[in-house]
Amino acid sequence: MFRKKNTAGVNSNEIRAILDEKKAKMKLSLKACAHCSLCAESCFLFMGHNKDPKYMPSYKFLNSVGVLYKKKGNVDKLDLGEMRDLVWERCVLCTRCYCPIGIDIPDMLALARRICRSQGVYPQYDRE
């Protein structure tokens, strides 16, 4: 879907700089992910939400770090808002997810959180 980006308030250089710190691991992990969905059941939030695929660990990391990397940090507040929902509201970073290939999914989600935080995007506890 194409919509006009409003990149005000987002410093994509800063995002890129953070991505670069973990570039090698992130790139290799994104590439190695076979999109197999076998990690799904290892996340208790996936199990607790009627096995909603949007709670799959791989879905969360591919749509946060994966998108940030693909777009080279050129995202806007709306994108980051969606990522906030992914990495805070659909993940508690309990580090129990398990990938048969050995991808460190929690580390990737933590990276996405860090990037959100660097852009002033935080979890909203006052929201329903």
Nearer CB in complex with ligand SF4: 60/75:
60
The one of ligand SF4, other proteins, none whose footprint includes residue 51, by CB under 5 to 8 A per kind, is: other proteins
In the chain, the DSSP E strands lie at: none
Residue 108, CB half-sphere, CA atoms under 13 Å: how many?
32
The one of ligand SF4, other proteins, none whose footprint includes residue 54, by CB under 5 to 8 A per kind, is: other proteins
| Among residues 10, 15, 18, 33, the one that binds other proteins under rule CB under 8 A | 33
Nearer CB in complex with other proteins: 3/31:
31
75 binds other proteins, rule: CB under 8 A: no
106 binds ligand SF4, rule: CB under 6 A: yes
Note the residues at the interface with ligand SF4 (CB under 6 A).
33-39, 42-43, 45, 57-58, 60, 91-97, 99-101, 103, 105-106, 109
